[in-house]
């Protein structure tokens, strides 16, 4: 987060973030060999798709930084770049706390628990790249000072420590009932036809079935899953009607 020399002109943006940066940190196809079997059991390559995304915001993201004692730029004087881990490798869990169906389940996101340290390293990389972008024209001509993490935070260790303290969700969790080979994968809940293992006439058609999180906002993929499920049901209904 930076403080600007002058306020952002009014009426120049539709959502306070009209630009985004997509970056690749790891070598090509790195996921084939450097991910835990639970996350990538088939050793699928990931090509060179982005693994870090940053929105460029004209508003302050100061909820967590202010708790650490950082100042907040005056209204209109903030510029933020927010590194996101597009395909995090940490795995959380959703679990029941009661036999009462009206009691909500508990959710543990499991932040920064991946054994490879991929998630933490990606945030460190994103913050360092954000600084490089901010040093380029025309950004540098607008910037008065870096507010957070601040010029005193320079080493990877210090940046990582800062990132852990200010990290938060962007509300795209998926995969609580993931698709997979239900006969071989103990963590798979639905098969390729969206059928729940061990339960007759029950399918799941939402973001819970994703084996891994998509590299974009999941909404369109969820809609695609719903359309596929509808086609499956219609096809099966038609086949049944012919009998």
Active site residues: 172
Question: Within the chain, where are the H helices?
Answer: 31-34, 63-67, 118-134, 139-142, 156-166, 219-242
Asked if 54 and 130 count as a contact pair (C-beta separation under 8 A), the reply is yes
Assigned token pair, 5: 């020399």
Q: How is residue 110 annotated by DSSP?
A: -
Report the largest interatomic distance among the alpha carbons of the chain, rounded to a whole angstrom.
Answer: 74
Report the C-alpha gap between 107 and 30 in whole angstroms: 29
52-57, strands of its sheet edge to edge:
19-23, 52-57, 78-85, 2-4, 143-146
Residues 129, 135, 139, 143, CA torsion sign: positive
Per-residue HEC secondary structure of 133-179 comes to: HHCCCCHHHHEEEECCCCCCCCCHHHHHHHHHHHCCCCCCCCCCCCE
Collect all residues with Cβ–Cβ distance below 8 Å to 69 and sequence separation of at least 6: none
């Amino acid at each position: 987060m930076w403080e600007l020399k002058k306020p952002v002109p009014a009426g120049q943006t539709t959502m306070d973030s009209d630009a985004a940066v997509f970056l690749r940190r790891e070598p090509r196809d790195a996921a084939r060999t450097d991910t835990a079997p639970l996350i990538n059991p088939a050793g699928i390559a990931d090509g060179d798709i982005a693994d870090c995304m940053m929105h460029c915001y004209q508003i302050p993201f100061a909820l967590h930084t202010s708790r650490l004692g950082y100042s907040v730029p005056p209204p209109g004087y903030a510029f933020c770049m927010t590194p996101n881990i597009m395909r995090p490798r940490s795995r959380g869990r959703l679990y029941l706390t009661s036999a009462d169906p009206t009691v909500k389940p508990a959710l543990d996101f499991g932040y920064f628990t991946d054994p490879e340290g991929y998630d933490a390293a990606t945030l460190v990389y994103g913050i360092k790249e954000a600084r490089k972008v901010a040093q380029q024209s025309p950004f540098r001509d607008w910037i008065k000072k870096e507010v957070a993490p601040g010029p005193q935070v320079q080493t990877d260790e210090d940046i990582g420590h800062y990132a852990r303290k200010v990290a938060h969700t962007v509300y795209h969790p998926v995969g609580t009932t993931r698709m997979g080979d239900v006969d071989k994968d103990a963590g798979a809940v639905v098969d390729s036809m969206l059928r729940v293992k061990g339960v007759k006439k029950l399918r799941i058609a939402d973001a819970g079935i994703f084996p891994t999180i998509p590299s974009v906002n999941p909404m369109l993929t969820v809609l695609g899953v719903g359309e596929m499920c509808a086609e499956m049901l219609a096809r099966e209904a038609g086949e049944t009607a012919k009998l």
